[in-house]
Structure 1
């Protein structure tokens, strides 16, 4: 295995209580800092807390960073910023060491190094360790796979869509279980390439068509509708906003599997879809994240 030792990097972190403030900090620093020297990210965690993290190629000017945070969120937020360093590390090797096969009902998501550990009565989904995002270890992906297996026990959809496919795990799982054509889409162009390659590596390349597009505006989605099953592991706000177009792209009796939402956000998503004629069939929670199975009546 080729070594991928990363150099030492510098990091600054702070926790914020609401999304708007986190985005304001992230936007200001993204606009101000040289993109080749720094990266900024804001992520929602359990309990509604938002974590903002900055990574720097060289040692940052701590006073300048605090001043920028103060402009966006006040002196209290500026004082809460902590600075540290991230030691050099072979991230691919570390990922291989840490990623064990994930069992989700009849599906097992694994790396190449664990291919031999998949039982003959299970459907293995192999994801390269170097593409560790979307490997199935997150509670939302596991929840979707469990609900997919549950839905397919009594229902066999013919037209399947994986919306926001990422690495293609859900599209690959659907194609392996159904042995039928699956359409997968993503707004992120690199994800489209990654998902298509993962489908090929998993032996379902001819069954999984991956297309680029934003939500339901992608031409192939309009051409392929109505769908009998849509899987969407995204985020709560986009899922609520998509309730109407998603309902319009469904056949009668179709199933929808939704995830990417924290458990306290589930009620709002369920209500949005109920208003469009979709009723909840099953709701599971894994590690603070909710996954929903709904049926269009």
Structure 2
């Protein structure tokens, strides 16, 4: 059975949220509605919905006009087994010593690598995205320089691939936290699959706001692979929760956004150590001088 998508953009979070709520009342009702900020500095938000039956274009035109949105683009999506497609197309990722793979590629793990299995269905944080890959490479670079971090946190951990990578090379347990309860469940499942139970402690938390994180601070390495806005909002807490001489590895940053993020962290005393670009994404390694 075909699936139909309807997508539009409009300025502002509140109008986008209101439009999404109005779309949920449509007939036929959508099977899902999403609201996303477009991280290009334009201030635009994307509102999209999926339908089992083709939505009435007149209804969509009225909604777009009522909320000041661009005309909807309606598409019929092909019938695809997306998990099977991901398994076919997502080859293992190599980032220095790290080898990130799905269970379907278990027979391709080379000797002498630190292997981390992330299921293909768990799309964000598999290592294929330039942000995760950049963070893994930055971690590998620290390790190759002989830098050992003994107290590590992964804020906004997603699949916990970064926390697991750190726990695989250094002996002390790593904190992995996420604002999303489902992400925390995924992180816990991944630690079990990779034999890292007890080595990665998974928590549901907003930023550093958790008693266990406060107990463990200050950290000598913090990952934050999220987005520019949350990274800037976290900068003061980073300054308070990173030990002198400690580092942060930041990503989820478009190349043109990197200087804005750097300036926010300079204001908290951080200094740029390295900056790498993979496609349109930047990864920053910053140090808090002693």
- Higher mean C-alpha deviation, range 281-290 or range 126-135: 126-135
Higher mean alpha-carbon deviation, 188-197 vs 29-38, is at 29-38
Contact kept, 8 Å, 1:140 with 1:233, in 2: the verdict is: yes
Task: Tell me the TM-score normalized by structure 1.
Answer: 0.89
SS at match of 1:59: coil
Aligned mate of 2:18, from 22, 28, 35: 28
Equivalent pairs, count: 283
Structure 2: distance between partners of 1:170 and 1:180? 14
Which of 173, 190, 195 in structure 2 is aligned with 1:198? 190
Residue in 2 aligned with 1:3?
none
Counterpart of 1:218 (choices 210, 224, 227) is 210
Deviation at residue 52 of structure 1 after TM alignment: 4.0
| Residue pair 2:20, 2:34 contacting (<8 A) in 1 also | yes
Match of 2:32 among 35, 38, 43: 38
Change (3 A) 1:25 1:85: farther
CA distance in 1, matches of 2:37, 2:3: 20
Q: Which residue of 2 aligns with 1:4?
A: none
Q: 1:22 to 1:138 in 2, by over 3 A?
A: farther
Do 2:20 and 2:47's aligned partners in 1 also have CA atoms closer than 8 Å?
Answer: no
What SS is found at the alignment partner of 2:5? strand
Aligned to 1:145: 136
| Counterpart in the other structure of 2:77 | 86
Deviations 1:35-86 (A, max 9, x none): 8633123253668576543212332122112222222225xx12xx221111
1:183-209 deviation digits (Å, cap 9, x = unpaired):
000010010010011011011112000
Gaps of 5+ in 1: 1-6
Higher helix proportion (structure 1 or 2): 1
Uncovered stretches (5+) of structure 2, i.e. residues with no partner: none
Map residues 1-297 of structure 1 onto 2, 5 A cutoff. 7-14=1-8, 21=11, 23-24=13-14, 26-34=16-24, 37-44=31-38, 51-74=46-69, 77-78=70-71, 81-153=72-144, 154-297=146-289
Shift of residue 213, structure 1, vs aligned partner: 0.8
TM-score normalised by the chain length of structure 2:
0.91
Whether the 8 Å contact between 2:155 and 2:207 is mirrored in structure 1 is: yes
Note the aligned Cα RMSD (angstroms): 1.9
